[in-house]
Amino acid sequence: MTVAKLVVALLFIAVNSYAYNNLAEGDIVPPRETFEEFPNDFDGWKCRDRGSMDQDTLDNLGVTDYLMCRYGHAELGRYVDFYAGYHEKQERSDTGKTTLIHPPEHCLPGSGWDIIESSIVPVDFGIAGDAKRVVIAKGKARALVYFWYQSRGHVIGTNFGRLWHLFFDRALRNRTDGSLLRFTMPIDRENFDEADETFRMFASKIAPDLPRFIPN
């Protein structure tokens, strides 16, 4: 680590500590609709069977509400595995239990996937910001993953950016609520363009409905 990066890291920790201990009061949890109300049909994209997680997994993730489903488009012959997880409060207890969002870069290798390509790309589906674009591999299988953190009006592609906004919003707005949105598309015969197009088509359809479930 360079001296500059070390200084930035130490400053980041200092600001975090000051914000949590001197500025923040009590967390505000804004009203929202639950993902049970999230549509199963978006202009031809259909979710036929929602997935579920066992209690141990839910406890480990610290997620308050979530949606997990494969949305397929029969006419196009394409599908997107979509996950949205909402955390009404992000914090770490004295016992080590956490409700902080888990970065996908940490979870994917634990599921047996190797990250072979990663970049930050701009997105604007009426909710402008950045997303992380990741190509993953498991054996001969390849998939394209896009994800972003949508938190209190921010659309963020990096974990560092998420934490930076979290600390200041906790201090200045008394809010730590936030969400992770993840889109996974299979890559068939190295057809990256089709997978990218599938993401854009699907994300543009669901984006207008997101603020109902993820408060700005």
For the chain, what are the domain ranges?
A: 3-212
With H, G, I as helix, E, B as strand and everything else as coil, classify residue 195: helix
From the number of C-beta atoms within 10 Å of its C-beta (0-12, 13-18, 19+), residue 74 rates as: exposed
Encode pLDDT of 45-64 as tens digits: 999 999 999 999 998 889 99
> What does the pLDDT average to over 115-142?
93
Whether the full predicted model's pTM is greater than 0.95, yes or no, is no
pLDDT of residue 27: 79
Task: Mark out the alpha helices in 19-118 (DSSP H runs).
Answer: 55-61, 104-110
With H, G, I as helix, E, B as strand and everything else as coil, classify residue 84: strand
What does residue 79 show for φ and ψ, rounded to 5 degrees?
-150, 160
Q: Which residues of 35-55 are buried (b: 16+ CB within 10 A; e: fewer)?
A: beebeeebeebbbeeeeeeee
How far does the chain reach from its first CA to its final CA, in angstroms? 35
> What does the pLDDT average to over 126-151?
93
Residue 186 pLDDT greater than 50, yes or no? yes
Which has the minimum average pLDDT: 19-23, 24-28, 120-124, 145-149? 19-23
Residue 10 pLDDT greater than 70, yes or no? no
Contact, 135 vs 122, CB < 8 A?
no
The CA distance from 105 to 118, in Å, is 10
Give the residue, 84 or 169, on which the prediction is more confident: 84
Averaged pLDDT score across all residues of the chain:
87
Residue 177 pLDDT greater than 50, yes or no? yes
Q: How is residue 98 written in tokens?
A: 């956490």
Percent of the chain with pLDDT over 70: 87
Residues facing 97 on adjacent strands = none
Nearest to 133 by CA among 178, 123, 125: 123
The CA distance from 189 to 110, in Å, is 25
